[in-house]
Amino acid sequence: MRIWKLIAVVFIVSIIFNPGFSYAQESSSETSTETPPEDPGISAQEQRRQYENQLLELEKEQAELQKTIEGYQKEGKTLNNEISTINARINKIKLQIKSVNVTLSKLGQEIIETQKNINQTENKIDTHRNAIGRSLQNLREADKQTVLTIVMGNSKLSDFFQDINNVLLVQDNIRGSLEEVTRLRQNLLAQKEELSAEKEDTENLRAIQLAQQKQTEAIQKEKNTILKTTKGKESEYQKLLRENQAKAAEIRSRIFELLGGGQLTFEKAYNYAKLAESATGVRAALTLAILDRESKLGKNVGQCTYKTAMHPTRDIPYFLDLLSRLGIDANSEAAKVSCAITAHGSYGGAMGPAQFIPSTWKMYESKIAKVSGNNPPNPWNNADAFTATAVYMQDLLDSASCKDYANSNKHLASYDTLLERCAAAKYYSGARWYTYRFFYGEPVVTKANQFEKDISIIVAKN
């Protein structure tokens, strides 16, 4: 850079980095974008704390109802116990719906705060961009000056060298400004990803709430059917109970519908899950519950191509490499993946029944191959998919956060139940698992316990 350009920068950058210009403007921006909480008398932080307390209280009430349900089940099958159990189940779901409402309110506030942070970050980036633009404009103007003009503009030689020292300082400030813009842009990307996740959580919870309402109606219908059939008589209920007891042959032939498409008999699905259990220690019933279609809230899978769904740098390179090794055309129906949630800017690309994104499948490829014997393992192959679910769940069950959650909440449920609830929620939503511990994690554990009973009948008849 020529000396007259550097000297011209001194004045401009001194304005840019003057606290009275840059930082005062940022402070003003933050003040102007401040979004007041719903209650002007309560801070956003205090509101979040109140929401968390409400959720904890609802969680305790749900845990008490679950203990009541388990108590009735231990007492034995009687008409009175069955009706009491059904009533407790209905009340528990109503509490879960209340929990969803509180969580939605909490998410609504988090979305407002995240959007405010995004606005602030964008304002800061604009401030730096505008300042740099003005600097460049002045550089162009200074470039027209001659060396003689610049030297003659200083009455003292010491002033000239002071300008040179200022130029060195300006260079450091420019470098700092560029680094700050880079940092702000990274923050902006993280904030937008957070906003996307919060909006997706809101959409998921509304779907969960709808499913809970339908479940309440189904349980109420079940209660009405029992009362109508038995006419309130214990003897008639016992007769109905004997007639409805599941037979091993019926369980074996029951259709198990996979999330990622395709159908298996329950016995075949159990055999895959049992193979995975022998290698990982993850109970077969839990693997079945994770892979069960209903446990995933009916999310759209296997409908899109990798080009429209996947993260371009994180997932696509490995995906294409995997398909090349498997001998699958990346543009064929056999390579379809889950769609992106374009409304929120989220990427899709989950593969097959286990719903692994390529970058996660890559992490577990060697472990899956070791258990299933397929190398490379195929995400659309049932044996590999069941194995992948169990291998991943093994890591989640062993995670420190799930163990901490189980240890600190033993007053709510058994350690194993809490551990599986946490792991299932993590399988579904990763780092945002805590939001789904009751809305996704617990239903999966409940489903697994139901499968466990079916499995015990199959095993007993073998």
Kindly indicate the confidence band of residue 172, based on its pLDDT and cuts at 50, 70 and 90.
Answer: low
**pLDDT value of position 22:** 32
Single-letter amino acid code for the residue at 297: L
Q: Is it the case that residue 451 has pLDDT exceeding 60?
A: yes
d(CA 108, CA 355): 28
Secondary element (H or E) of residue 156: none
**pLDDT value of position 318:** 97
Kindly indicate the confidence band of residue 191, based on its pLDDT and cuts at 50, 70 and 90.
Answer: confident
Pick 198 or 341 by higher pLDDT.
198
**8 contacts 141 by C-beta, under 8 angstroms:** yes
| Listed residue (381, 439, 435) closest to 215, CA to CA | 439
Task: Give how far Cα 200 sits from Cα of 104, 207, 224, 373, Å.
Answer: 11, 11, 36, 37
| Listed residue (302, 271, 295, 277) closest to 389, CA to CA | 277
Within 8 A by CB and 6+ apart from 252, the residues are 265, 266, 267, 458
**pLDDT value of position 155:** 57
Tell me the sheet residues that pair with 255. 265
**pLDDT value of position 16:** 38
Tell me the sheet residues that pair with 257. 263
**pLDDT value of position 462:** 66
**280 contacts 393 by C-beta, under 8 angstroms:** yes
Q: E strands along 192-349, which residues?
A: 255-257, 263-265
Kindly indicate the confidence band of residue 449, based on its pLDDT and cuts at 50, 70 and 90.
Answer: very high
Within 8 A by CB and 6+ apart from 355, the residues are 259, 260, 296, 301, 338
Within 8 A by CB and 6+ apart from 326, the residues are 376, 378
Pick 397 or 8 by higher pLDDT.
397
Token representation of residue 425: 């929620």
Q: Is it the case that residue 260 has pLDDT exceeding 60?
A: yes
Pick 330 or 151 by higher pLDDT.
330
d(CA 398, CA 392): 10
Pick 160 or 89 by higher pLDDT.
89
Q: E strands along 122-262, which residues?
A: 255-257
d(CA 321, CA 90): 49
Determine what percent of the chain is predicted with pLDDT higher than 70. 77
* Least confident among 42-46, 224-228, 355-359: 42-46
d(CA 101, CA 195): 19
Q: Is it the case that residue 150 has pLDDT exceeding 80?
A: no
* Least confident among 14-23, 41-50, 65-74, 209-218: 14-23
| Listed residue (73, 181, 67) closest to 127, CA to CA | 181
> For residue 63, how many other CB atoms are within 10 A of its CB?
18
> For residue 446, how many other CB atoms are within 10 A of its CB?
16
The full set of domain ranges for the chain reads 3-234, 246-461
Q: Is 327 left (phi over 0), alpha (psi -120 to 50) or beta?
A: left
Q: Is it the case that residue 244 has pLDDT exceeding 80?
A: no
